[in-house]
Chains A and B, each alone.
Chain A
Amino acid sequence: KAGVTQTPRYLIKTRGQQVTLSCSPISGHRSVSWYQQTPGQGLQFLFEYFSETQRNKGNFPGRFSGRQFSNSRSEMNVSTLELGDSALYLCASSLEPTGANVLTFGAGSRLTVL
């Protein structure tokens, strides 16, 4: 059973540009969540999608957005990149966003903003 797949794994952008990151969840998983990981802040919740609907959103500016497709694949977009957006972006999937469902994480997309 394939795990959570994130693409691209590494990317370098410059300030002001935009970036789109992709996440393919484990087959059968319908809930996808996104987290930002930085050395000082740890993992911080960005947003969660279930059945193509955003259920929750973390405390990030509107430059951060996402969507989920009918096949449960998800993308997140960051516009007008800032230096502080440099981070590891992790996607996690679960069967459903309830109860003791375990989040399974992908290896992440490491974004460097110059």
Chain B
Amino acid sequence: GQNIDQPTEMTATEGAIVQINCTYQTSGFNGLFWYQQHAGEAPTFLSYNVLDGLEEKGRFSSFLSRSKGYSYLLLKELQMKDSASYLCAVRDVQTGANNLFFGTGTRLTVIP
């Protein structure tokens, strides 16, 4: 089966950098997604990694190591609006392209 772990909650200071980790176990890894979800809103796509390495998109970066079953989302220059839940999701080739397995999410609180 699939197993995805990420911390439940994190707190960081405005302007700082925060790293949200995600570890996974899956038999047919075929990509990892990060989504952001504000309370009461839809999850919105942040990043996609399928090969090892770092993907950078403005203040957000995502890293993947397939051999270690590990990814992280790096948020730089934190802003108050970054307070949200961050969801790690893995695609498994054996169960279908759009059957993503999600972690329970990391609730990030940015404080002044």
Listed in ascending order, the chain A residues whose CB lies under 8 Å from chain B are 3-4, 31, 33, 35, 40-45, 48, 55-56, 58, 90, 92, 94, 97-108
B42–A58 touching, CB < 8 Å: no
Picked from A41, A45, A90, the residue with its CB within 8 Å of the CB of B42 is: A90
Taken residue by residue from 97 to 112, chain B's Cβ proximity to chain A (1 for < 8 Å, 0 otherwise) reads as 1111111110000000
State how many angstroms separate the Cβ of B40 from the closest Cβ of chain A: 8
Provide the B26-59 mask, 1 if CB < 8 A to any CB of A, else 0: 0000010101000011111100101000000000
| Docked pose: A41 CA to B4 CA in angstroms | 12
- On chain B, the number of residues with a Cβ less than 8 Å from chain A's Cβ atoms is 24
Q: Looking at the complex, which one of A42, A97, A105 makes contact with B105 (CB distance below 8 Å)?
A: A42
Closest to B44 in A: A105
25 contacts between A and B (CB under 8 A): A3-B42, A33-B99, A35-B102, A42-B102, A43-B43, A43-B87, A43-B100, A44-B102, A45-B99, A45-B100, A45-B101, A48-B96, A48-B98, A48-B99, A55-B96, A56-B96, A97-B96, A101-B97, A102-B33, A102-B45, A103-B45, A105-B42, A105-B43, A106-B42, A108-B42
Q: Is B11 an interface residue (CB 8 A)?
A: no
Binding site for A on B (CB under 8 A): 31, 33, 35, 40-45, 48, 50, 87, 89, 95-105
Chain B residues with CB under 8 A of A106: 42
Instruction: Give the docked Cα–Cα distance between A31 and B98 (Å).
Output: 8
Inter-chain contact B104/A42, CB cutoff 8 Å: yes
- Also in contact, A41 and B96, with CB within 8 A (given A100-B50, A102-B45, A105-B44): no
- Distance in Å: Cβ of B55 to nearest Cβ of chain A: 12
- Say whether A56 contacts B105, CB under 8 Å: no
* Partner of A97 from B50, B87, B97 at Cβ < 8 Å: B97
**Nearest CB to that of A88 among chain B residues?**
B40
For residue A55, which residues in chain B have a CB less than 8 angstroms away from its CB?
96, 98
The docked-state distance in angstroms from the alpha carbon of A107 to that of B101 is: 19
